[in-house]
Amino acid sequence: MKINSKIKKVDGNYIVNKYRTRNFRERMTLSDIQKHLEVNSNELTHEFKRLFHGRGGLYDGWKHLTVDSIANLLSVALYFEEENEKELITMLKEFTLIHHDTLVIQRRYIKGSPSEVIIGELPEELFAIENGMKFKLNLLSNKNSGYFPDMKNGREFIRDNSKDKSVLNLFSYTCAFSIASILGGATKVSNIDMSKGALSLGRINHHINNLDTREVSFHPYNILKSFSRIKKKGPYDLIIIDPPTFQKGSFVATKDYRRLIMKLPQIASQECILLACLNSPDLDVDFIKNLIKELAPSFKYSHRLENVKEFASENESRSLKNLVFIRQFA
């Protein structure tokens, strides 16, 4: 089967350092960070863009900092306490006044992950825009905002390969993959997630994008306990597995990914495409490849999608893994 992929493939020798503008062997200064933000803001649009990704470990001393541009808003997250927080905020305020109207800082290291509006005010409705798609955001949530920007290339792949296909979106969260599928021409999409709240937001996201949902379903199932109901709507031509690494009481990747893979042959069409995702730093590409080879050998490994360049990591084997498999019979 031929698949469309404008997303580059990644092999074991993929090097992320090409995205670094400088080799920081010592802790970056605030001036360094400001320059980095300025360089990455040269061609800002209303689309979501990560301006600084400390979480990837490329910038010594700043693994706890992320900075995102969301239209006219600058969103900052601190994952643990910064000893120079006052000075950091002063720099970010100066930067915001040049490029944005609003500055929001979330302190993820404090219980409840409170967010604070430093400059301006939050609009009543805020959206992340990605390749023309819109996703509703809640930056004041003590959990996730409703949108995972690092999965951008995965959604582009699904949009490019969903035409005339029946799509199964497992762990659908707020249904961003579903929107990409419908826009790509899917005939129907089944969204499965335990969270009724996430699925409700998923419905809203479809309406925001003016999409007809008559062939889109939203099911608040425990995936591992509801296989018979999922199977009834099959077989599926395109299956997306995008689970949390660990979700207490519902999914643990090290043991439960195996249970999902075992079921694949029962719900997949003859030429099914599988996008298997994993965002655990402790499990590498071979974890999924070996499970597929053992438990669903009719699925042949095609390639790994390149990660979004703004989310580059010092160790790609520990970063987000989006693996494409195609079902084939000899």
Q: Which residue has the tokens 């994993």?
A: 278
Question: What CATH number is given to the structural domain containing 168?
Answer: 3.40.50.150
Mean pLDDT of 181-186: 98
Q: Roughly how many angstroms between the first and final C-alpha of the chain, as a whole number?
A: 13
Residues in a beta bridge with 69: 49, 74
Are 118 and 238 found together in one domain? no
Strand order in the sheet with 115-119: 49-53, 65-70, 73-78, 102-107, 115-119
pLDDT of residue 5: 67
Q: Write the CB contacts of 188 (distance below 8 Å, at least 6 apart in sequence).
A: 166, 167, 215, 216, 217, 233
Q: What is the pLDDT of residue 324?
A: 98
**3 pLDDT more than 80:** no
Q: Do 170 and 106 share a structural domain?
A: no
* DSSP state string for 53-120: EGGGS-STT-TTEEEEEETTEEEEEESS--TTHHHHHHHHHHHHHHH-SEEEEEETTSTT--EEEEES
Indicate the DSSP class of residue 281.
T
pLDDT tens track for 232-276: 999 999 999 999 876 676 788 889 999 999 999 999 999 999 999
Q: Please provide the average confidence, as pLDDT, over all residues in the chain.
A: 91
User: Which of 124, 141, 173 is the last residue before a domain boundary?
Assistant: 124
d(CA 25, CA 270): 51
Q: Are residue 223 and residue 299 in the same domain, yes or no?
A: yes
Look up the pTM and report it.
0.91
| Alpha carbons 6 and 20: distance in angstroms, whole number | 23
Helix (H, G, I), strand (E, B) or coil at 18: helix
Domain of residue 321: give its range.
Answer: 149-327
Q: Calculate ∠ Cα 44-150-94, nearest 5°.
A: 40
Q: Which residues of 171-196 are buried (b: 16+ CB within 10 A; e: fewer)?
A: bbbbbbbbbbbbbbebebbbbbbbbe
Q: Is residue 321 in a domain? A: yes
Q: Rounded CA gap, 81 and 205, in Å?
A: 34
The pLDDT tens digits for 108-136 are 999 999 999 999 999 999 999 999 999 99
Q: Are residues 42 and 170 in the same domain?
A: no
**Structural domains in the chain (count):** 2
User: Does 181 have pLDDT greater than 90?
Assistant: yes
| Residue among 34, 73, 24, 50 nearest 308 (CA) | 50
Asked whether the predicted pLDDT for residue 216 surpasses 70, the reply is: yes
